[in-house]
Amino acid sequence: MAEVMNCRGMKCPQPVLKTAIKANTLPAGTTLVVEADCPSFGEDVKKWCADSGKVLISFVDKGGYQAATIQL
Protein backbone atom coordinates (compact mmCIF):
# COMPACT_ATOMS: atom_id res chain seq x y z
CA MET A 1 0.00 0.00 0.00
CA ALA A 2 1.28 3.45 -0.91
CA GLU A 3 1.94 6.22 1.57
CA VAL A 4 0.01 9.38 0.53
CA MET A 5 1.22 12.88 1.32
CA ASN A 6 -1.07 15.87 0.73
CA CYS A 7 0.94 18.97 -0.22
CA ARG A 8 -1.97 20.84 -1.81
CA GLY A 9 -1.97 24.54 -1.03
CA MET A 10 1.81 24.69 -0.51
CA LYS A 11 3.87 27.01 -2.69
CA CYS A 12 6.79 25.55 -4.62
CA PRO A 13 9.35 24.36 -3.71
CA GLN A 14 7.67 23.27 -0.46
CA PRO A 15 6.06 20.07 -1.86
CA VAL A 16 9.42 18.73 -3.08
CA LEU A 17 11.18 19.73 0.14
CA LYS A 18 8.49 17.92 2.16
CA THR A 19 8.84 14.93 -0.19
CA ALA A 20 12.59 14.77 0.43
CA ILE A 21 12.11 14.90 4.21
CA LYS A 22 9.38 12.23 4.12
CA ALA A 23 11.47 10.00 1.83
CA ASN A 24 14.21 9.92 4.46
CA THR A 25 11.78 8.46 7.02
CA LEU A 26 10.49 5.61 4.84
CA PRO A 27 12.22 2.35 3.90
CA ALA A 28 13.67 1.83 0.42
CA GLY A 29 11.13 0.35 -1.97
CA THR A 30 8.19 2.20 -0.42
CA THR A 31 5.74 3.83 -2.83
CA LEU A 32 4.96 7.45 -1.99
CA VAL A 33 2.13 9.39 -3.66
CA VAL A 34 2.54 13.16 -3.40
CA GLU A 35 -0.43 15.39 -4.21
CA ALA A 36 0.34 19.05 -4.98
CA ASP A 37 -1.15 21.97 -6.87
CA CYS A 38 1.72 24.43 -7.30
CA PRO A 39 2.55 25.26 -10.93
CA SER A 40 6.14 23.97 -11.02
CA PHE A 41 5.55 20.76 -9.05
CA GLY A 42 5.83 18.51 -12.13
CA GLU A 43 9.25 19.77 -13.16
CA ASP A 44 10.46 20.00 -9.55
CA VAL A 45 9.50 16.41 -8.65
CA LYS A 46 10.97 15.02 -11.89
CA LYS A 47 14.29 16.75 -11.17
CA TRP A 48 14.30 15.65 -7.52
CA CYS A 49 13.70 12.02 -8.51
CA ALA A 50 16.50 12.13 -11.07
CA ASP A 51 18.91 13.81 -8.64
CA SER A 52 18.09 11.54 -5.68
CA GLY A 53 17.90 8.22 -7.53
CA LYS A 54 14.19 7.71 -6.88
CA VAL A 55 11.83 6.36 -9.55
CA LEU A 56 8.96 8.54 -10.74
CA ILE A 57 6.39 5.86 -11.57
CA SER A 58 3.69 8.24 -12.75
CA PHE A 59 2.67 11.88 -12.80
CA VAL A 60 -1.05 12.46 -13.28
CA ASP A 61 -3.15 15.62 -13.53
CA LYS A 62 -6.13 14.99 -11.26
CA GLY A 63 -8.00 18.17 -12.20
CA GLY A 64 -7.00 20.91 -9.78
CA TYR A 65 -3.91 19.10 -8.48
CA GLN A 66 -1.25 16.66 -9.64
CA ALA A 67 -0.29 13.31 -8.14
CA ALA A 68 3.26 12.02 -8.39
CA THR A 69 3.80 8.34 -7.58
CA ILE A 70 7.39 7.72 -6.52
CA GLN A 71 9.22 4.53 -5.63
CA LEU A 72 11.78 5.24 -2.94
Report how many domains make up the chain: 1
Q: Convert the pLDDT of each residue in 2-42 to its tens digit.
A: 999 999 999 999 999 999 999 999 999 999 999 999 999 99
* pLDDT on residue 1: 76
> 41-52 and 14-23 are packed helices; what angle lies between their axes, rounded to 10 degrees?
30
pTM of the full structure: 0.95
Average pLDDT over residues 54-61: 98
Buried b or exposed e, range 25-43, using 16+ CB within 10 angstroms? eeeeeeebbbbbbbeebee
Distance CA 8, CA 64 (A): 9
| Helical segments of 1-72, H only | 14-23, 41-52
pLDDT beyond 80 at 50: yes
Q: Residue 12 maps to which CATH number?
A: 3.30.110.40
* pLDDT on residue 11: 96
Give residue 56's domain range. Answer: 3-71
